[in-house]
């Protein structure tokens, strides 16, 4: 059975999983990854002058296309430079797969006692840094785990509430030869440990489906239609979820006024008769007035962050019942919101 480099296998899996674009900046700590991604057929390579640009480009690509992009950076400052773009994608629910280079396992400081600040050239414990701003962050220390880890990362980046994932690959693992067909893959239906996953990914699970969801939606619509001054507040999630056209069809059938979140100006055209304005601290008077005088607010695709509900969040939609459809159950329970009908669903 022919063997291939781990780096080539990672590139191959990205292509197999429908990733077509990678944003990258080359570096010695990622040389095998650079080479494999550069040679991979089916991947369009976009080279940037700074890693922050690569991550932000991947985020913009995800927003505009609805597709998952890859990011490739080198060890140390290469990974650190990408953090700002990755964090933006994390808070705004945009998926991306970051694959970084790392020093060889023999020179990783954490493998020794006493702990050193740094051992390898340009070494940084990037996984500790990104764990709080990614859905999944792991160091690929065993070549035999390459297929399972990569497939799992891509699945998590897309599942539920999308977000960035990060795989850090030591350079000796990048160049290690493996029998690709013999490696264990990732089965999303099988029981799995949570190693590397952010704790809040569990909040995406247990969403309503089927008859239970139908019952909740029926009750919500009955309340909405009985209201005298109902409005719909639309966020970026109506695009990220791939339901933008369905959203437009829905609000036009309802004939309900629509306000849009600060991150969702394109959810409905400004020229649409249903468009009212944009509420929030960086919104407009019409949008805020509509929310504050409504008696029912249906929130779709918005997590209602501080800028959306204002610093005086206790007064947000003060005369209204609020219904909120959200895939992340934690967002429905946060202390800055009072949601009368929370619906945990996509």
Residue 192 has pLDDT above 80, yes or no: no
- Residue 158's CB is within 10 A of a number of other CB atoms, namely 17
Amino acid 1: pLDDT: 63
**Has residue 193 got a pLDDT over 80?**
no
Q: Does one domain contain both 29 and 86?
A: yes
Closest by Cα among 274, 273, 295 to 225: 295
- The confidence score (pLDDT) of residue 308 equals 93
Nearest of 276, 247, 279 to residue 262 by alpha carbon:
279
Note whether 214 and 330 are same-domain residues: yes
Residues 161 and 57 in one domain: yes
pLDDT digits (tens, 9 = 90+) for 208-236: 999 999 999 999 999 999 999 999 999 99
Closest CA to 29 of 52, 7, 57, 5: 7
The alpha-helical segments, DSSP class H, found in the chain are 6-16, 31-39, 51-65, 77-81, 83-91, 126-130, 146-158, 171-174, 210-226, 237-240, 244-254, 285-293, 306-309, 329-332
Do 138 and 17 belong to one domain? yes
- Interacting residues of 245 by C-beta distance below 8 A, sequence separation 6+: none
CATH number at residue 292: 3.40.50.1220
Q: Are residue 136 and residue 44 in the same domain, yes or no?
A: yes
- Least Cα distance to 73 among 124, 30, 128, 110 occurs for 30
What does the pLDDT look like over 38-72, one tens digit per residue?
Answer: 999 999 999 999 999 999 999 999 999 999 999 99
- Residues 173 and 223 grouped into a single domain: no
**Beta-strand pair 96-102/230-234:** unpaired
**Contact indicator for 197, 186 with CB cutoff of 8 Å:** no
pLDDT in tens, 140-170: 999 999 999 999 999 999 999 999 999 999 9
For residue 101, the domain's CATH number is 3.40.50.970
Bridge-partner residues for 232, per DSSP? 258, 298
CB burial readout 64-92, b (16+ within 10 A) else e = eeeebbbbbbbbbebbbbbbebbbbbbeb
Q: What is the spatial distance between Cα 30 and Cα 247, in angstroms, rounded to a whole number?
A: 42
Same domain, 300 and 331: yes
Last residue of a domain, one of 170, 202, 234: 202
**pLDDT at position 115:** 79
One domain for residues 115 and 181? yes
Q: Tell me the percentage of the chain whose pLDDT exceeds 70.
A: 100
My answer on whether 161 and 258 are in the same domain is no
My answer on whether 194 and 220 are in the same domain is no
Find the farthest-apart pair of alpha carbons in the chain and give their distance in angstroms, rounded. 70
Euclidean distance between CA atoms 307 and 126, whole angstroms: 30
Provide the domain limits for residue 115: 4-202
Query: How many domains, in total, are found in the chain?
Result: 2
Per-residue pLDDT at 200: 87
Count how many Cα atoms sit within 13 Å of the Cα of residue 158 in the half-sphere of its side chain: 16
Instruction: Give the per-residue pLDDT at 133.
Output: 98
Give the least confident one: 115-129, 187-201, 332-346: 187-201
């Amino acid at each position: 059975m022919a063997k291939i480099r781990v780096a080539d296998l990672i590139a191959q899996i990205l292509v197999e999983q429908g990733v077509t674009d990678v944003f990258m900046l080359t570096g010695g700590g990622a040389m095998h990854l650079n080479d494999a991604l550069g040679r991979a057929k089916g991947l369009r390579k976009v080279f940037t002058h700074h890693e922050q640009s690569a991550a932000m480009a991947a985020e913009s690509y995800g927003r505009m296309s609805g597709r998952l992009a890859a990011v490739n950076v080198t060890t140390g400052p290469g990974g650190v430079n990408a953090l700002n773009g990755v964090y933006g994608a994390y808070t705004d629910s945009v998926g991306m797969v970051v694959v970084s280079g790392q020093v060889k396992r023999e020179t990783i400081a954490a493998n020794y006692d006493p702990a050193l600040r740094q051992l390898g050239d340009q070494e940084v414990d990037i996984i500790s840094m990104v764990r709080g701003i990614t859905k999944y962050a792991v160091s690929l220390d065993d070549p035999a785990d390459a297929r399972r880890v990569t497939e799992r990362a891509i699945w998590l980046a897309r599942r539920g509430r999308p977000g960035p994932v990060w795989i850090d690959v030591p350079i000796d693992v990048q160049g290690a030869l493996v029998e690709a067909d013999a490696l264990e893959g990732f089965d999303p239906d099988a029981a799995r440990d949570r190693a590397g996953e952010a704790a809040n990914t569990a909040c995406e699970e247990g969403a309503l489906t089927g008859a239970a969801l139908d019952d909740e939606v029926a009750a919500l619509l009955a309340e909405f239609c009985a209201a005298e001054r109902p409005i719909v507040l639309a966020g970026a999630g109506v695009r990220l979820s791939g339901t933008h056209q369905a959203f437009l069809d829905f609000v036009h059938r309802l004939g309900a006024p629509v306000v849009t979140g600060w991150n969702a100006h394109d959810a409905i055209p400004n020229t649409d008769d249903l468009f009212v304005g944009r509420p929030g601290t960086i919104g407009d008077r019409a949008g805020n007035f509509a929310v504050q005088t409504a008696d029912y607010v249906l929130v779709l695709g918005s997590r209602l962050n501080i800028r959306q509900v204002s610093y005086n969040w206790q007064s947000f939609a003060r005369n209204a019942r609020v219904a909120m459809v959200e895939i992340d159950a934690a967002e429905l329970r946060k202390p800055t919101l009072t949601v009368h009908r929370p619906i945990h669903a996509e």
